[in-house]
């Protein structure tokens, strides 16, 4: 589920350092309220609030599922955005037999980010491969990003240059959101900065390609709700918070992920009595 970490001060990003390519899927942009909410049965096999990541093109879904011993990362791919996701398979790779959660992947399918708990607290991990026909190499820990507490909910940008996540000093519950950027795919991510202007008790962020729009889950009483925020430039703080009331119908919705064009959204909800993954759409204009 969600969580994020802390830091102080206004973000001062060097906008000209990192080139963010919105890609072909951003030729139009999703606008307005989300509708046509459909349950994704392939990723809803047990009553656990586990994260689901929708790929930038909307054709692949990644989630974690309990196999009787550990949480394992799974993927399902469909032929088009209107098709149903089939039953998924384990993501091929050299993964240790420990719990892995909350995965996301670059648009080219060559870098996989997730959190794991081989020790007492979660940390972020990255696994890479040189071709989508090959399994992932053993994951490496991103220790630089895990210094502020329990870290989870990492979502990598489509171009692999921006990583957002949540962190908390507590091992349970929501926290704060953080961001880190690198100039190219061969560089390591530097220490993260806290995303300012946001409430506390939030996690599992999804950031737009231009870094101006943000979706996340927020603690709301005993449950969760999905909230969006905007900013006028990547160097400004987020503001103009907006509850996704068309999504937040059960009092327990979280883990948002969007396509690159922001016209399809996946989230986890308990609206049917047990946790399941859902897909919602809106016009792309």
Domain residue spans of the chain: 28-281
- Cβ proximity of 235 and 222 under 8 Å: no
CA-based torsion, 85, 21, 164, 191: positive or negative:
positive
User: In terms of C-beta density within 10 A (0-12 exposed, 13-18 middle, 19 or more buried), how is residue 150 classed?
Assistant: buried
Q: How many residues does the chain have?
A: 285
What is the H or E stretch that residue 204 is in? Answer: strand 202-207
Task: Pull the structure tokens for residue 151.
Answer: 């870290």
* Tokens of residue 92, six digits: 């091929």
Rounded Cα–Cα distance for residues 54 and 74 (Å): 12
E strand intervals along 3-110: 35-40, 52-54, 60-66, 71-77, 89-90, 100-105
pLDDT, tens digit only, all 285 positions of the chain: 433 333 333 233 333 334 444 444 457 899 999 999 999 999 987 766 578 999 999 999 999 988 888 888 999 999 999 999 999 999 999 888 888 989 999 999 999 999 987 665 678 999 999 999 999 999 999 989 987 677 889 999 999 999 999 987 555 556 899 999 999 999 999 999 999 999 988 999 999 999 999 999 998 888 899 999 999 999 999 989 999 999 998 888 999 999 999 999 999 998 888 889 999 999 998
Could you give the CA distance from residue 53 to residue 261 in angstroms, rounded to a whole number? Answer: 15
- pTM of structure: 0.87
DSSP state of 11: -
Which CATH number among 3.40.710.10, 1.10.150.20, 2.115.10.20, 2.60.40.10 corresponds to the domain 28-281? 2.115.10.20
Residue 268 structure tokens: 């986890």
Q: What's the pLDDT score for residue 170? A: 53
Give CA torsion, residues 163, 164, 169, 171, to 10 deg: -90
Query: What's the gap between Cα 57 and its chain centre?
Result: 15
């Amino acid at each position: 589920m969600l969580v994020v970490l802390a830091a102080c001060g206004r973000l001062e990003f060097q906008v000209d350092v990192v080139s963010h390519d919105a890609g072909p899927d951003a030729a139009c942009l999703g606008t307005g309220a989300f509708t046509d909410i459909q349950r994704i049965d392939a990723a809803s096999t047990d009553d656990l609030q586990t994260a689901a990541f929708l790929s930038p093109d909307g054709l692949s879904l990644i989630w974690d599922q309990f196999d009787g011993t550990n949480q394992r990362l799974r993927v399902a791919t469909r032929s088009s955005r209107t098709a149903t996701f089939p039953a998924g398979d384990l993501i091929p790779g050299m993964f240790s037999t420990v719990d892995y959660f909350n995965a996301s992947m670059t648009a080219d399918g060559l870098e996989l980010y997730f959190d794991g708990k081989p020790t007492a607290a979660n940390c972020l991990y990255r696994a890479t491969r040189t071709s989508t026909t090959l399994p992932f190499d053993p994951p490496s820990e991103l220790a630089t990003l895990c210094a502020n507490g329990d870290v989870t909910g990492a979502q990598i940008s489509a171009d692999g240059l921006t990583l957002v996540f949540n962190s908390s000093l507590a091992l349970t519950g929501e926290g704060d959101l953080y961001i880190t950027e690198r100039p190219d795919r061969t560089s390591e991510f530097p220490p993260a900065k806290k995303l300012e202007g946001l409430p506390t008790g939030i996690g599992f962020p999804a950031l737009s390609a231009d870094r101006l729009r943000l979706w996340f889950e927020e603690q709301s009483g005993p449950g969760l709700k999905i909230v969006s925020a905007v900013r006028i430039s990547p160097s400004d703080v987020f503001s103009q918070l907006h509850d996704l009331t068309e999504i937040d119908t059960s009092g327990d919705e979280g883990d948002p992920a969007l396509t690159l064009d922001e016209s399809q959204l996946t989230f986890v909800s308990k609206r049917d009595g047990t946790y399941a993954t859902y897909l919602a759409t809106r016009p792309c204009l």
